[in-house]
Structure formats: structure tokens, C-alpha cells
């Protein structure tokens, strides 16, 4: 159902260039009633004068004017790319419309037209400008993979569903969300999941990595700038807050911004208005902010590296992503999903993971989390020729040098308890031998020394003969032989 806000033009600045006095006055009165700031002129010369001293979001431009053709304003290249030009003419025709679009107009109205169309046309024009700005900045997300919750993240999913329910009730003025977690846990993917599943899924999702923005670039990139704001500002430019209007702005590693930029972000969240660098006009922005960080913001506040008032403003809805090493058997389910996606990406046949490979994945600490897991899977996919991946070289990964077993049901774990139905000792011995051989890169003598048994014992176990020689350690065997 439509609401009154859909017809509102509050906060937008419009220049009406129309020589017919009555029509110009009616257009001005209608736009003002919708909340726009409107300036009306009757000629190209007067339009040039207003453009040189004022900032406009839109220009309603008549084609036939007393001192020239309205399209000349487009041909001269004096208009900022951020201005949406809507051409009006009583002599409607395909040729004029095509020429206007070719010169950079965002829409075309044939007179007479219904004034009720103006909010729709301007909203559509604004979306065109937003899409152009977003395309300059954000990385391609086509084919974005679904976020994997699994059993371990079920409580987090319940929490996020409550946030989405609140979003659906509010529709507008959505509150910020703060996502915390170690590097590589999937904060960006979770932010996109929130956007795609929320009421603004059809609107822009703008992602910016704050850690790569320099102090001088950050303000211009986030809030935009006007022509002449600094040496290289040859034209006005939309900021990412404007580009994300109506949608979501994801600020990754927000604490990387300086204190002064953090203050401006706080003002934008609270006032829902921004001002371009070098500009004087307040611009309304309706943006859902999702911020993410891998650091403890309370520690950053105590160290004077993050504003406490901004933390309080962001910390209404918080989602914490646990490290991968704390997700138990979900690691294997996630690995299988990622592996299937990688096979499709590289156009390779499906690959499975051996039992040994699964144990190695579970034993790894994954200091780089999901990102590191994906890289190891891709490495195995590229370099292992077997039908099933074993990840034999995973032990060379520093993250897996000192494995910690995630499964308390594994008998190598200190928390293990023997089952009532009994324990298979033969399988346990074979597993110990196999682990020693893996660590020794297949060297039987080295594996035997690690286990304190003879090489014959390892060979027998390796070939599956459980009736092999005595399993006594070498020291006991030598003492027995001496007797």
C-alpha cells in the first residue's frame, strides 16, 4: 500500500526552466506543496545564472525557450552529473526524446502531462543517478552465495529474524545494526543477508571498506562534494550516503575512520541529513546503516580511538559472529557447501572429502575463519588429483600446526568418555598409526620411532593385518630379547 511519503519531495531542490508563465507558476506551486525547494526561471540565460550560484537535485527543462533551445544546457556540459534533468516539450516526438536521453537527460515529459506524475518521475530519476554512483563503487555481487547458519548459528538466526520483524513494522527510519566478529567470519555476507531478507531488498546495497579510505578521501566518498570544493573537484559528486538512499549502507571496519568523520557519521544517523563537502544545503537521506568491526569497540573507546556516543548509537541491534573454530561439526557442512560452489565456479566435477580430510578440517584452528577455509578448499581442489580431497598438506598451515580437537566425542579429546557399548581398540591403533604416517609424510621408519614400535608393526598395520608382531615399545622388546 502506498503512503504519503512516496509522493513527498521534501529536501529536494528543483529548478524549473519554463517560459510559459502560468505553467511555470503551477509547477512551482505543486512542487512546493510536495515539500521541494523550487526556483523558477523563464530563459536559458537565467538558468545559467541560477546554476552558477545554487545547487539543484533536478531541473525541469523546457525545450523551446525565448533565447535558445533547452537541450543546449545539456550540450554545453555545464551541469553536474549528479543533477537529474527532466525535459518537457509540447512538441513531443521520438527524435527529441532520443536526443535528450543521449545528452544525459534522465526522463522526458510530453506536454500536457499530469502533475501527479512528477514525484514518480523524480523518484525514478533519482534511482538512475543512485545506480550510476553505486556502480562506480561497490564490487559486483551477482551470484552472491547464501549465508550458512547451520546448527551453531541458530540462536543468531533467531536474533536476526527478530530484527527483520522490527524492520517490517517500521519500514522507514530503520535502526543501525552492529556486526562484530573476527576477520573472515563472514560479516560482509551477513550484512548482505540482512539487506536481501529485509523490507529494502529491492533498494541499493552500498558497501564501503572504511579501512582503505584516507582521511582526505573519506569525507568526499561518504558525503559527496560540490564543484570547486577542492582542487580536483571539477564537478559535483554524490556521496555514498546519497547513493544508498532508501537502501542500506554497509560500513565495514568503521573504527578505521578518524574521529571527525565518525562525528559526521553520527550526525547523519541521528539527523538523517548530510551536507556535501563544500556545500551549504542539507540533503535528506533515508539509509539503514550496518556497521562491522573485528575489534572490541569498548576497548577502542577506552583507548580514545572510537567515539563513545557513536558506539551507543550503533549498539541497539548487535550481531556477533563466533569464530569458525567454535562452530563444531558445522565446519564440515560449510566446507561441503563451499566446495560445491568452488567446483561450479571452476567448472570442475563434484568432489568429496575423505574421512581423514574431515578430521583435518575439524582439527584446524582456522585463525582466518571462513575466508581461510575457502582458500584451503580451493587449494585442495586445484592441487589434489584424487576424486576425494584428503588435505594431506593442511599440516603445513600454521593455523593447523597445533590442532585442537573440536569434537568432544573423539577419543583423542581430554573430555572423551568411553561408551557403554564398548570401544574398538583395533580401529584406534590403526588410526594412531595412520596419524603418525601422515605426520612423517609416509616415512615408515620415522612413524615407527614416533610410536615407539618396530617398522614391521607399522607395515603390518598399514596393510591391514591386525595379527602383526607384538605392540610392545622398543625398550621393552629389547629387554625381553636380552632375557
pLDDT at 463: 66
Residue 429, pLDDT above cutoff 80 = yes
Residues of the chain with CATH 1.10.10: 425-482
Q: What does the alpha-carbon distance between residue 317 and residue 167 come to, in Å, rounded to a whole number?
A: 11
Q: What does the alpha-carbon distance between residue 60 and residue 27 come to, in Å, rounded to a whole number?
A: 9
**For residue 146, what is the DSSP state?**
P
Residue 263, pLDDT above cutoff 90 = yes
Residue 465, pLDDT above cutoff 70 = no
Q: What does the alpha-carbon distance between residue 179 and residue 253 come to, in Å, rounded to a whole number?
A: 10
Q: What does the alpha-carbon distance between residue 150 and residue 411 come to, in Å, rounded to a whole number?
A: 25
Q: Which of 4-13, 15-24, 183-192, 223-232 has the lowest mean pLDDT?
A: 4-13
For residues 334 and 150, is the Cβ–Cβ distance under 8 A? yes
pLDDT at 353: 92
CATH code that applies to domain 325-400: 1.10.8.60
**CATH architecture assigned to 425-482:** Orthogonal Bundle (1.10)
Average pLDDT of the segment spanning 375-391 = 88
Confidence band of 43 (pLDDT split at 50, 70, 90): very high
Residues of the chain with CATH 3.40.50.2300: 6-126
pLDDT at 430: 83
Residue 136's CB: how many other CB atoms inside 10 A? Answer: 11
| Helix (H) / strand (E) containing 322 | none
For residues 451 and 458, is the Cβ–Cβ distance under 8 A? yes
| Helix (H) / strand (E) containing 432 | helix 425-439
Q: Topology of 6-126 in CATH?
A: Rossmann fold (3.40.50)
Q: What does the alpha-carbon distance between residue 142 and residue 148 come to, in Å, rounded to a whole number?
A: 18
Q: What does the alpha-carbon distance between residue 181 and residue 351 come to, in Å, rounded to a whole number?
A: 30
Q: Which residue has the higher pLDDT, 20 or 130?
A: 20
Residues of the chain with CATH 1.10.8.60: 325-400
Peptide bond preceding 112 in cis form (omega within 30 of 0)? yes
Residue 279, pLDDT above cutoff 70 = yes
Given the candidates 3.40.640.10, 3.30.565.10, 1.10.150.130, 3.40.50.300, the CATH classification of the domain at 155-321 is: 3.40.50.300
Average pLDDT of the segment spanning 203-214 = 89
**For residue 176, what is the DSSP state?**
P
pLDDT at 421: 77
Instruction: Provide the grid cell at 379.
Output: 587449494
Average pLDDT of the segment spanning 174-179 = 94
Residues of the chain with CATH 3.40.50.300: 155-321
Helix ranges, 440-483 (H): 444-451, 455-462, 474-482
pTM over 0.85? The answer is no
pLDDT at 395: 61
**For residue 197, what is the DSSP state?**
T
pLDDT over 90 percentage in the chain: 35
Instruction: Provide the grid cell at 394.
Output: 593442511
Confidence band of 222 (pLDDT split at 50, 70, 90): very high
Confidence band of 409 (pLDDT split at 50, 70, 90): low
Query: For the segment 313-364, what is each residue's pLDDT rounded down to a tens digit?
Result: 998 899 999 999 888 889 999 999 999 999 988 888 899 999 988 988 988 8
* Residue 293, φ and ψ in degrees, nearest 5: -155, 150
Confidence band of 288 (pLDDT split at 50, 70, 90): very high
User: What are the residues whose beta carbons fall under 8 Å from the beta carbon of 343, sequence distance 6 or more?
Assistant: 349, 350, 351, 381
User: What are the residues whose beta carbons fall under 8 Å from the beta carbon of 59, sequence distance 6 or more?
Assistant: 14, 15, 16, 17, 47, 73, 79, 83, 84, 85, 86
pLDDT at 480: 42
Average pLDDT of the segment spanning 378-405 = 73
Amino acid at each position: 500500500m502506498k503512503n504519503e511519503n512516496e509522493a513527498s519531495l521534501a529536501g529536494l531542490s528543483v529548478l524549473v526552466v519554463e517560459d510559459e508563465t502560468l505553467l511555470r507558476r503551477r509547477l512551482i506551486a505543486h512542487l512546493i506543496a510536495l515539500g521541494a525547494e523550487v526556483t523558477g526561471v523563464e530563459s536559458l540565460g537565467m538558468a545559467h545564472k541560477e546554476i552558477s550560484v545554487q545547487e539543484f537535485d533536478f531541473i525541469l527543462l523546457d525545450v523551446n525557450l525565448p533565447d535558445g533551445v533547452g537541450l543546449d544546457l545539456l550540450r554545453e556540459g555545464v551541469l553536474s552529473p549528479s543533477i537529474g534533468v527532466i525535459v518537457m516539450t509540447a512538441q513531443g516526438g521520438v527524435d527529441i526524446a532520443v536526443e535528450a536521453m543521449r545528452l544525459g537527460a534522465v526522463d522526458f515529459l510530453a506536454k500536457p502531462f499530469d502533475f501527479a506524475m512528477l514525484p514518480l518521475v523524480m523518484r525514478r530519476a533519482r534511482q538512475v543517478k543512485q545506480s550510476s554512483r553505486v556502480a562506480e563503487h561497490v564490487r559486483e555481487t551477482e551470484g552472491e552465495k547464501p549465508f550458512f547458519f547451520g546448527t551453531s548459528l541458530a540462536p543468531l538466526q533467531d536474533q536476526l529474524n527478530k530484527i527483520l520483524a522490527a524492520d517490517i513494522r517500521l519500514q522507514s527510519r530503520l535502526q543501525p545494526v552492529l556486526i562484530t566478529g573476527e576477520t573472515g567470519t563472514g560479516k560482509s555476507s551477513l550484512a548482505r543477508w540482512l539487506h536481501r531478507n529485509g523490507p529494502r531488498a529491492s533498494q541499493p546495497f552500498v558497501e564501503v571498506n572504511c579501512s582503505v579510505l584516507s582521511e582526505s578521501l573519506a569525507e568526499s566518498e561518504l558525503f559527496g562534494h560540490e564543484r570547486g570544493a577542492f582542487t580536483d573537484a571539477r564537478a559535483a559528486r554524490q556521496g555514498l550516503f546519497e547513493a544508498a538512499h532508501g537502501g542500506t549502507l554497509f560500513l565495514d571496519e568503521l573504527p578505521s575512520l578518524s574521529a571527525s568523520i565518525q562525528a559526521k557519521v553520527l550526525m547523519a544517523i541521528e539527523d538523517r541529513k548530510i551536507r556535501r563537502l563544500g556545500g551549504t544545503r542539507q540533503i535528506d537521506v533515508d539509509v539503514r546503516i550496518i556497521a562491522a568491526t573485528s575489534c572490541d569497540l569498548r576497548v577502542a573507546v577506552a583507548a580514545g580511538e572510537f567515539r563513545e556516543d557513536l558506539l551507543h548509537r550503533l549498539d541497539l541491534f548487535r550481531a556477533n559472529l563466533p569464530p569458525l573454530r567454535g562452530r563444531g561439526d558445522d565446519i564440515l557442512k560449510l566446507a561441503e557447501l563451499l566446495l560445491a560452489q568452488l567446483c561450479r565456479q571452476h567448472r570442475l566435477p563434484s568432489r568429496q572429502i575423505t574421512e581423514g580430510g574431515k578430521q583435518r578440517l575439524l582439527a584446524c584452528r582456522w585463525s582466518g575463519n571462513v575466508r581461510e577455509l575457502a582458500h584451503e578448499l580451493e587449494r585442495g581442489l586445484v592441487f589434489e588429483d584424487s576424486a576425494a580431497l584428503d588435505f594431506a598438506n593442511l599440516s603445513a598451515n600454521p593455523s593447523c600446526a597445533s590442532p585442537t580437537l573440536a569434537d568432544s566425542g573423539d577419543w583423542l579429546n581430554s573430555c572423551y568418555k568411553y561408551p557403554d557399548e564398548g570401544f574398538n581398540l583395533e580401529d584406534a591403533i590403526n588410526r594412531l598409526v595412520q596419524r603418525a604416517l601422515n605426520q612423517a609424510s609416509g616415512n615408515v621408519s620415522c612413524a615407527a620411532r614416533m610410536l615407539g614400535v618396530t617398522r614391521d608393526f607399522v607395515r603390518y598395520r598399514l596393510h591391514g593385518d591386525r595379527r602383526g608382531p607384538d605392540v610392545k615399545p622398543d625398550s621393552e622388546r629389547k629387554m625381553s630379547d636380552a632375557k
